[in-house]
Amino acid sequence: MKANVYSINGEVKKEIELPAVFSIDTREDLVHKAFKAISLSLRQPYGSSPLAGTRRVGHNLGPNHGISRIPRLAGGSKGVLLASMVGGRSALSPRSDKVLYKKINKKERRLAKLSAIAFTANRDYVLKRGHKISENVMDTLTFPVIVEDDMENITKAKDAVKILSDIGIYDDIIRSKNGKKIRPGRGKMRNRTYKQPKSILIVGSSNEKLRAFSSLPGVDTASLNSLSITKLAPGGIPGRLTLYTETAIKELEGVN
């Protein structure tokens, strides 16, 4: 597979051969499985103490005393410990000691990540995710989008906008900006009021060199070491519109 390398002015600079990782047999089902395992493992356990309601000592008199055999406080008739008692344990409440980690095989997780990378070079999956591309470059733009390393020298957001506009993918950021909506339900009360669609993922040599892009709506930045399923396939849906620098593509040559 081959792809164009674009300059920061949006012009085709040269054509290069893509690393072998973009030619592997992709597995959409594994991408979804890995994303589900990762997102479920990030949950925070909550609930009362496992010992709540069970710190009392209860006794019962046994049979043939004309009184139900529930644990009671010594010297009285107050019931304790049981879920039906005042101050007793909770019957079906969330448990703070529950293990929420979801396992996935190491080879499956690795293949899922490689597949997610390969899907970024698939035009059909990129458009299927709903990403918007300028009509002027719709037929000529190659995937994945590769830009020369000079883009890492950009320090201002307005210059970052100009680069993305010249390449023809800034329309996707507008889509993300216009798609910002108020979240339904209780999340508004928990410091997550808004939901915003994901836009472009930019992969370079380091996150710090891509700060000018990270402030744009829906844009995420990553280095090769920080690439993850959650960034490459948000929601477990592969084919995110991804922009790589030339250095990042060269680093992917050793991945197989």
Predicted confidence (pLDDT) per residue in 166-191, tens digit: 999 999 999 999 999 999 999 999 99
Mean pLDDT of 107-125: 96
Domain that holds residue 228: 2-24+116-254
Task: Name the domain count of the chain.
Answer: 1
Task: Return the residue matching tokens 């448990």.
Answer: 95
Mean pLDDT of 192-219: 95
Looking only at the bridges linking them, the beta strands covering 220-223 and 201-204 are: parallel
CATH number at residue 205: 3.40.1370.10
Residues 119 and 229: their CA atoms lie apart, in Å, by 12
% of residues, the chain, pLDDT over 70: 100
Torsion of CA 52, 58, 62, 65, to 10 degrees: -110
Query: What's the predicted TM-score (pTM) here?
Result: 0.87
Quote the tokens at residue 143.
């995937």
Residue 75: which pLDDT band, with cuts at 50, 70 and 90?
confident
- Using the predicted structure, report yes or no on whether residue 5 has a pLDDT greater than 80: yes
Q: Residue 255: pLDDT above 90?
A: no
What pLDDT does residue 105 have? 97
What confidence tier does 1 reach under pLDDT thresholds 50, 70, 90? confident
Q: Tell me, yes or no, whether 104 lies in a domain.
A: no
pLDDT at position 125? 96
| pLDDT at 76 (0 to 100) | 85
pLDDT of 256 strictly over 80:
no
Q: What is the pLDDT of residue 16?
A: 93
Mean of per-residue pLDDT scores for the chain:
94
* 42 lies in some domain: no
SS3 107: helix
Q: How far apart are CA 85 and CA 206, in angstroms?
A: 59
- Whether residue 168 lies inside any domain: the answer is yes
Q: Let me know if residue 126 belongs to a domain.
A: yes
Domain-located, residue 164: yes
- 229: CB partners within 8 A, 6+ apart: 31, 34, 35, 38, 112, 113, 116, 236
The CA-atom distances, in angstroms, between 80 and each of 37, 76, 90 are: 40, 11, 12
Residue 65 maps to a domain: no
